[in-house]
Amino acid sequence: MGKRYYCDYCDRSFQDNMHNRKKHLNGVQHHRAKKAWFDQFRDSAAVLHDEQIKKPCRKFLQKGICDFGPNCRFSHMSEEDLFNLKRHMEEERQHREDFEDRIISGQSIEDWLSKREKKQAALGSKGDLKTKEDNEEDEAESDIPQQLFSIPDLPPSLLPPPAGGWRVSASSEWG
């Protein structure tokens, strides 16, 4: 049977040899699928700019379908779609500006991380002996920068710890 090559862009596999792979990678369908894949990650400003340059597709406007699909050289966006895209772009710009304002006005993440690292190094050299004053000082310095909370859809492993710290139950301890 032999090895098979799977193309993620085209969602298909074929016998893997130099001839088949070269033929596939140079094929029109592969180039279209690859372009479609990367187009989904383009920012709103680039999409809006490209769509405003294009003329509207008459066939798509009349029948609601175009034989060329995403490969059509004309725009398949209605005026409402363009308006929504502009609005989305403005929201992104506003969010970015708000985020930059918070960084400038507040403590930077790099500063917070360096202070945290110094604090942990000091605790490591001090051992487990901590006074009440140290605990109060740690709580005051452990203010997590708001920038970390504004990043959407962070995986749980990257979320900052809750205010009271992580709770560990006796049954889940190792040992």
What global pTM score does this model have? 0.44
Distance (Å, rounded) from C-alpha 64 to C-alpha 58?
Answer: 9
What length is written for the chain? Answer: 175
SS3 5: strand
- In terms of pLDDT, which residue wins out, 133 or 116? 116
Instruction: Return the domain boundaries, the chain.
Output: 1-41
Distance (Å, rounded) from C-alpha 88 to C-alpha 46?
Answer: 12
Provide the pLDDT for residue 174: 57
pLDDT tens-digit series, residues 9-67: 999 999 999 999 999 999 999 998 998 888 888 888 888 888 889 999 999 888 888 88
Structure tokens that stand for 136 in this block: 């109060």
Provide the pLDDT for residue 142: 52
